[in-house]
Amino acid sequence: MRYFIKISYDGSKFYGFQRLKGHPTIQGRLEEMLSIIDKGPVVVKGAGRTDRGVHAHGQGVHFDLHHDIPVDRLKKVLNKMISPYIHVIDCKQVSNDFHARFSVLEKEYIYRIYLGNFDPFLYDYTLEYGYPLHLSSLKKVGKLLEGKHYFDNFVSGEREQCAATITKVHIKRVNREVWIIFRGKGFYRYMVRNMVGAMLDYNEGKCDLLDIQNMLNQPTIKKQLRTAPATGLYLENVYYE
Residue ranges of the domains in the chain? Answer: 2-94, 107-240
- Taking domain 107-240, whether its CATH number is 3.90.1150.10 is answered by no
Residues marked active site are found at 51
What integer pLDDT is reported at residue 222 of this predicted model? 82
**What is the reported pTM?**
0.95
pLDDT digits (tens, 9 = 90+) for 170-199: 999 999 999 999 999 989 999 999 999 999
Domains 2-94 and 107-240 share a fold: yes
pLDDT digits (tens, 9 = 90+) for 195-226: 999 999 999 999 999 999 999 999 888 888 99
Residues of the chain with pLDDT under 50: none
What integer pLDDT is reported at residue 223 of this predicted model? 85
CATH class given for the domain over 2-94:
alpha beta
What integer pLDDT is reported at residue 137 of this predicted model? 96
Concatenate the DSSP letters of all residues of the chain into one string.
-EEEEEEEE-GGGSS-SS-BTTB--HHHHHHHHHHHHHTS---EEES--PPTT-EEEEEEEEEE-SS---HHHHHHHHHHHHTTTEEEEEEEEE-TT--TTTTEEEEEEEEEEE-SS--TTTTTTSEE--S---HHHHHHHHHHHSEEEE-GGG-SS--S--EEEEEEEEEEEETTEEEEEEEEE---TTHHHHHHHHHHHHHTTSS-HHHHHHHHH-GGG--------GGGEEEEEEEE-
What integer pLDDT is reported at residue 148 of this predicted model? 96
